[in-house]
Amino acid sequence: MTKLKSNDLTNNQFMKKKIRKILIIGAVILVVGMLVSILVRNKQIAEARLYHSDPDRAVLVETDTVQMQKLNIMHQYVGTLKPTRKVTISAEVQGKIVTVGVKEGELIHSGTLVAQMDDDYEQAKLLAAKAAFNNAQRKFHRYEGASSGEGISQMKVDNARTEMQTAKAKVEQLKVQIDRSHITAPFSGIITKRFVDPGATVGFGSSIATLLDLSVLELVVTVSQEEIGNFEEGQSLKVYSSIYPDTIFAGTVTVVSASGDASHKFEVKIQVANHQHKLRAGMFGKIIPVQTLDSLFVIPRVALIGQSQNPQVYVVRDSIARLQDIEIGYSNDRLIGVTNGLKKRDVIVTKGQINITNGTKVKVHNP
């Protein structure tokens, strides 16, 4: 009896486990079925929302007609602004600096005193030389006006003349030496560096200050061999700076390089007027010259499909849009020059390309 009860208990446990397993499998199957049903439904909804072209229905598009016209191309060149004149003012005589008339960063004019050297000794020598010259001059005039009966020979007259000329040369020599001790600016500009202070003793060739002319700068740009023909000496250009986006500076081409570098780039130098000294040497400047190309086939940029390596357009013939391979050349922000693949008066799609494929029936609607 006990053995029968034990077997019944074991059978009941086995049946419970089996029923539980069946229930779990059934639940999993139910969940999977529900997920599949949801996915199928979502797919049907998505497909219903997709655009399906009707081959018998014409798609509205906007078009333009291929025509020949001149194309304005803007090129941008960026370069560095450099000073056209920069000198280091140096001492021309040896001596002591008694006055320095400039400060670093100061804007000065041509002829402004930069430094004054001690010239007291030379001034004293000049007074003596002038006195000697006056005596020699009076002597010469006296001898020259004397009659031959007074015993003044021609030799004495000639010697007096030589004495006078020697004295005069001494005066001029001292004037030059004194003038060189008075150091002035050779042109208007900004003092970028001052090397001496009052009391310093300098020798011939010693640096006094550096002067930079900012009234006219030079913009140097490099251009390709295909574009060098767009520049010529004397050409007027507009120069821009990102620091002053609303200001246009007047530029003039001064040098067009006659030879290129190893990468076939050519140097062009533009003189830039900078009267208000807004620009500084070392800043970037740019020019955007406009090149006008002769008449060629052009299309609106919005008509282009694909990348520049494989450009295409839709051409409409008999109300059918056909995909056409083209070759393109120069372009600007609105128009593209076409070198091959189209002919005059071809009608191309400019709007609505997203809704058509090759061979789609279209209806032109140009507002």
Return the pLDDT at 53.
54
Look at residue 30 and tell me if it is in a domain.
no
Structural domain includes residue 29: no
The CATH number for 322's domain is 2.40.420.20
Query: Mind listing the pLDDT tens digit of every residue in the chain (367 residues)?
Result: 554 455 555 666 667 777 777 778 877 787 777 888 788 787 777 766 655 555 668 899 999 999 888 887 778 899 999 999 999 999 999 999 999 999 998 999 999 999 999 999 999 999 999 999 999 999 888 887 775 556 677 888 888 899 999 999 999 999 999 999 999 999 999 999 999 999 999 999 999 999 999 999 999 999 988 888 889 999 999 999 999 999 999 999 999 998 888 888 999 999 999 988 899 999 999 998 877 777 788 888 899 887 778 899 999 999 999 999 998 887 777 888 888 989 889 999 999 989 999 999 998 888 7
Instruction: Say how many domains are in the chain.
Output: 3
> 136 and 144 in contact (C-beta within 8 Å)?
no
| Cα distance between residue 64 and residue 99, in whole Å | 77
Pinpoint the alpha helices (H) of the chain.
Answer: 2-49, 120-145, 154-180
- Please tell me the predicted confidence (pLDDT) of residue 3: 47
The whole-number pLDDT of residue 328 equals 86
170/164 Cα distance (integer angstroms) = 10
* Among candidate residues 64, 51, 55, 67, the one with its CA nearest the CA of residue 364: 64
Distance set, CA 51 to CA 12, 123, 294, 354, 355 (Å) = 61, 101, 44, 11, 8
* Global confidence as pTM: 0.57
Residue 128's CATH number: 1.10.287
Residue after which a domain boundary falls, among 292, 313, 330: 292
Q: What is the CATH number of the domain that holds 256?
A: 2.40.30.170
Instruction: Please report whether residue 50 resides in a domain.
Output: no
The domain boundary, picked from 161, 180, 199, lies at: 180
Residues 269 and 307 in one domain: no
Residue 219 near residue 285 (C-beta atoms within 8 A): yes
Boundary-marking domain end, from 270, 292, 314: 292
- Based on the domain organization, do 172 and 136 belong to the same domain? yes
Q: 5 in a domain, yes or no?
A: no
Q: Is residue 125 one of the residues assigned to a domain?
A: yes
Q: Are residues 275 and 327 in the same domain?
A: no
Whether residue 303 is found in the same domain as residue 285: no
The pLDDT, as a whole number, for residue 50 is 58
Q: What is the pLDDT of residue 147?
A: 56
Domain that holds residue 329: 59-73+293-364
Residue 111 lies in a domain: no
Domain membership flag for residue 133? yes
Domain annotation covers residue 337 = yes
Which of 221, 219, 238, 236 minimizes the C-alpha distance to 281? 219
Is residue 261 located within the same domain as residue 231? Answer: yes
